Structure 1
Amino acid sequence: MAIALRFLIVSLLISCFVATSYGVTFSSLNHTLIVTASPTPGQVLKGGKDTITVTWSFNQTFPAGTDSDYKTVKVKLCYAPISQKDRKWRKTNDLLKKDKTCLQKIVAKPYMASNNSFTWTVEKDVPTGTYFVRAYAFNAQDVQVAYGQTTDAKKSTNLFEVQAITGRSTSLDIASVCFSAFSVVALAGFFYMEKSKAKSSVQK
């Protein structure tokens, strides 16, 4: 009995070590969440100005109790394949701890099976690109166990654009033009005054 108990404990420790070492893969997650977002396909959102309203819920077609270990939901803004091309720092990896698809956090909330909604203002530092929204369900150990997303498996539908803030504004442009014009006038005035002084010296 004692040997069997020891074997069981060792087996559990090995299982935990293997899970920790290898991590969770995206392909192992259950697609049990239904996620929608307010942007229409192809819509362009401006960083620091426009908003995204995200809703999510448990897919009731799955058996009752499937979501019994869901404790938290984390919603993220994710790169579409077109915005990952030739950018290794955004590369998709089935091993979630190495995956760079979803780098921008939108919100994290305690899990509820329905009536979940959140409106998020696109942050100014979000890079220009093509995006979709994904939600992960986490268990009590803060490990991903399920997901849902606003696009299909190939990440080719319901995509929208984000246009990053440029750092320039209309008022800044106007100020630049006015300053340039003032500089030209001031320079012309300087030359006129120098020319008048020179003429006065010659006449004397």
Structure 2
Amino acid sequence: MEIPTGFLVVSLLLSCFAATSYCVTFTSLKETLSVTTTTKNQVLKAGDEQITVTWGFNKTYPAGTDSDYKTVKVKLCFAPISQKDRKWRKTVDLLKKDKTCLQKITAEPYRASNNSFTWTIEKDVPTGTYFVRVYAFNALGEEVAYGQSTNAKKATNLFEIQAITGRSVSLDIASICFSAFSVVALAGFFYMEKRSAKSSAQK
């Protein structure tokens, strides 16, 4: 039996309302938050260096625009150059499926001003070029606004993070010492073999 088109549309709408943020799209949000970042270097080392994020309500919007903002989430986001040929980082307008901002920096109650957070980059953050975005949520946990530390094309005020490679100075020193010991041991082995062979020949 063929299902009426109207029934399908109604079902889709009901499913949207049933799931939190299911139908919220990025293009439906207003950029009502101002966000800036401060770093000591443009290339930052994961697990070591820090990013300071500040944010607040953009007062060019009418007073009361933020009346339903209850909480915010600050996120680390991939710049386009670090999304290229990586489908698992793909930007999707439907926020539930968007992979632009996978790393949460902090989540806090909403305040219109005087917001600042200093974040030590976590050790598992991959190498890439990034910016920071802040989402505002309503009481239902739905995204209602945002702000970001870059422009609309995500091309300005970017910074790079260098992932931990797994090597360390102590590991390198140990590796060098082991290699040197191996060479000396091998030379000693050959010397002893040659001496033993010489002794046998003399007998």
TM-score, normalising length: structure 2: 0.89
Matched residue count: 191
Shift, 1:176, TM fit: 0.7
Shift, 1:65, TM fit: 1.4
Please give the root-mean-square deviation of Cα atoms over the aligned residues, in Å. 1.8
Of the three residues 13, 16, 19, the one matched with 2:17 is 19
Shift, 1:150, TM fit: 0.3
Q: After the TM superposition, which segments of 4 or more aligned residues of structure 1 sit over 3 Å from their partners?
A: 13-22
Unpaired runs of 5+ residues, structure 1, are 1-12
C-alpha deviations, 1:79-109, integer Å up to 9, x for none?
1111111111111011000100000110001
Distance 2:65 2:14 in 1: 22
Shift, 1:198, TM fit: 1.7
Unpaired runs of 5+ residues, structure 2, are 1-10
Q: Paired residue for 2:37? A: 37
Distance 1:66 1:16 in 2: 27
Percentage of pairs with the same residue: 76
TM-score, normalising length: structure 1: 0.88
Distance 2:168 2:15 in 1: 54
Q: Paired residue for 2:7? A: none
Shift, 1:196, TM fit: 1.2
C-alpha deviations, 1:102-153, integer Å up to 9, x for none?
0011000111111111100111211111110000001111110000000011
Written as runs of structure 1 = structure 2, the 5 A alignment for 1:1-204 is 17-20=15-18, 23-39=23-39, 43-204=42-203
Distance 1:167 1:186 in 2: 28
* DSSP 3-state at the match of 1:182: helix
Distance 2:151 2:201 in 1: 84
Shift, 1:16, TM fit: 5.5
Shift, 1:199, TM fit: 1.5
